[in-house]
Structure 1
Amino acid sequence: MTALADISAQETAARPDDPHLADAELKPAFFDWLCRMGDNTLILGHRLSEWCGHGPVLEEDIALANTALDLIGHTQMWLGLAAEVEDKGRSADDLAFLRDAMKFRNAKLVELPNGDMALTLMREFLFDAWHFEMLTALAKSGSPRVAEIAAKALKEVSYHLERTSDLIVRLGDGTEESHHRMQDALDRLWPYTGELFTADAVDEAMAKVGIAPVLADLQAAWERNVNEVLDEATLRKPETRFDVHQGGKQGRHTEHLGYILAEMQFLQRAYPGASW
């Protein structure tokens, strides 16, 4: 225990100073934005973890579980920083396990049910492509702490995107059945992707002080990457609007999030403060 405490103290001492953490006026928006980043990775990580032991082949079962672990690790960093910014004595675990659904700030895309592997992989790919562009921009953030987290997460997300891009191509340009399933998954998920680029007052406040990029600036690179993969996969990009389903970032979720939280938060709710 002493060694772990020493390591923790060393890591804390090594963290760069960040004046944004002490900005009282910025605090509400900064906290909300950090929760958005952490909630996205937490909820998608939980969704992917549901495949553990159920993957169609051993390699994919392991890959999905490892991706889930990566994302939950990112959650620890984002929500940990959110708890520091809030400065009300809460921890990353408190934010993950003791908030109600309306307090979660994840995009609706990541809370949708897994469905089949086509739906799971397409959802992950569309998010990975956005996540990669976001973290690339955040690695140059005016907030040293945000830049530090983004740089660490980007290494793993680069692999996530490479893996899902490859699978989208292999399945999209595979058999007639796999092509049909991938096209159906794309058509179903496309209307949820626009929320990732729709800015509100929180996003604008973060961009104004240089913590986060202007969301619209990420869209061109995301579309270029997505279009390139879809073309190689012989999949047709939907002509429907991509910004139909929104509100998750403001706490307006689908019914699916409640079921996720009922499972994810059960132990902490049933046995408050339990540890092992």
Structure 2
Amino acid sequence: MPAYDDPHGTGLADPYAEAGGEVPGGVRGVDLGAYCLMLGDDALVMSHRLQEWVTRAPELEEEVALANIALDLLGQARPLLSRAGAVDGSGRDEDTLAFGRGPGEFRNVRLAEAPNGDFAHAMARLLLFVTWRLALLGRLTGSRDPALAAVAAKGVKEMAYHREYAAGWVVRLGDGTAYSRERVIEGLAAVWPSTAELFAPSPVELRLAAAGVAADPASLRPDVETVLTGVLTAATVPVPAPPPPCLAPAGREGVHTPALTDLLIEMQSVARAHPGATW
């Protein structure tokens, strides 16, 4: 694992150094590992979806921007997966967790795994994802777990830029031509039902929130909805009606769409073709 060089001079704690640290008192390692896996999988899967835009974005500038956002998310995923394997008793490293699990073992929200549509769809999905993740990481900067707090402190700076980027495009498309407005409205309609899952807490999240380690997803809803309403109003796009509550098991329980299977086939192909290889 490479050393953490803090390229932006933030002075933040090294998330990698905290990966094998002690579990906060009163917290089960298996719970903390499961939570880190959730957050790491969210970032890893969304990163891969954004990487798929390389060579496909409408302009070179957007291709570079999406690649950089993908790299930031990958940078969040790595220490989170390392922390998960270090505290859950399995001893698995980040590569094993990224490339050695099947779809049913992933714990990402399904918003991240949905296939890419057109560029307007991508911006609508990115806006929802990063607005939610920025609110989440903002809460986790005060986590009792030092690894989570370190990842969150660095991540909020990245997510703030990502949200600004996605919001700018949604406004530009929504308040642009009739066709661009139509595309962004259809993109929002496709991804909006997934927002219900973002605020549905799992038992692990509730236990860790009570222990001061995690954030209760339900508590994020007001902040997220306020930001989304503001962006969509500026874009002259109707705010979709709230989706029905997420009652059935979803991504946090390992229940995914077929899209995740296809994504993992591609993402894990080299690692599975050359097991045990080092790079």
Q: How far 1:88 sits from its partner (Å)?
A: 2.5
* 2-structure distance, mates of 1:238, 1:257: 26
- With 95-104 and 25-34 compared, the bigger mean Cα shift is at 25-34
Cα distance, 1:92–1:237 mapped onto 2, change above 3 Å: same
In structure 1, runs of 5+ residues without a counterpart are none
Cα offset, 1:89, TM superposition: 2.5
| Residue type of the alignment partner of 2:266 | E
Output the amino acid matched with 2:23. H
Who is 1:100 aligned against?
102
Q: Aligned AA for 2:269?
A: F
CA shift in 2, pair 1:237/1:274, >3 Å:
same
Query: For residues 72 and 243 of structure 1, what CA distance do their matches in structure 2 show?
Result: 30
Residue 239 of structure 1 pairs with residue 236 of structure 2:
no
Q: Could you report, residue by residue, the CA deviation over 1:46-72 in whole angstroms, capped at 9, with x for unpaired residues?
A: 000001111101110100111111111
Alignment-derived partner of residue 250 in structure 1: 253
Contact 1:190-1:242 within 8 A present in 2 as well? no
One-letter amino acid of the counterpart of residue 27, structure 1: G
Q: Of residues 77, 82, 85 in structure 2, which corresponds to 1:83?
A: 85
Is 1:172 matched with 2:174? yes
Q: CA deviation at 1:17?
A: 9.4
Instruction: State TM-score, norm by structure 1.
Output: 0.91
Letter in 2 for 1:254: T
Which residue of 2 is the match for residue 141 of structure 1?
143
**For residue 199 of structure 1, what is the aligned residue in structure 2?**
201
Equivalent pair of 2:120/2:187 in contact (CA under 8 Å): yes
CA distance, structure 1, for counterparts of residue 4 and residue 223 of structure 2: 42
Deviations 1:154-197 (A, max 9, x none): 11111001111111111111110000000011111111111111
Superposed, 1:191-230 pairs within 5 Å as 191-230=193-232
Residue 11 of structure 1: CA displacement? 5.5
RMSD over aligned Cα atoms:
2.4
Match of 1:113 in 2: 115
**% identical equivalent positions:** 38
Residues in 2 aligned to 1:211 and 1:5: alpha-carbon distance in whole angstroms: 26
The residue correspondences of 1:174-189 to structure 2 (distance < 5 A) are 174-189=176-191
For 2:272, the equivalent position in structure 1 comes to 269
User: 1:160/1:242 Cα in 2 relative to 1: closer, same or farther (>3 Å)?
Assistant: farther
Could you say which residue in structure 2 is the equivalent of 1:54? 56
Instruction: After superposition, give the CA deviation of every residue in 1:194-253 in whole Å (9 maximum; x if it has no partner).
Output: 111101211111111111122211100000000000000011112252545860110000
In the alignment, the residues of structure 1 paired with residue 4 and residue 117 of structure 2 have an alpha-carbon distance, to the nearest angstrom, of 44
Letter in 2 for 1:59: E
Higher mean Cα deviation, 84-93 or 58-67?
A: 84-93
Distance (whole Å) between structure 2 residues aligned to residue 43 and residue 80 of structure 1: 16
TM-score (norm 2): 0.91
| One-letter amino acid of the structure 2 residue matched with residue 53 of structure 1 | T
The aligned length equals: 271
3-state SS of 2:23 partner = helix
CA distance in 1, matches of 2:274, 2:142: 41
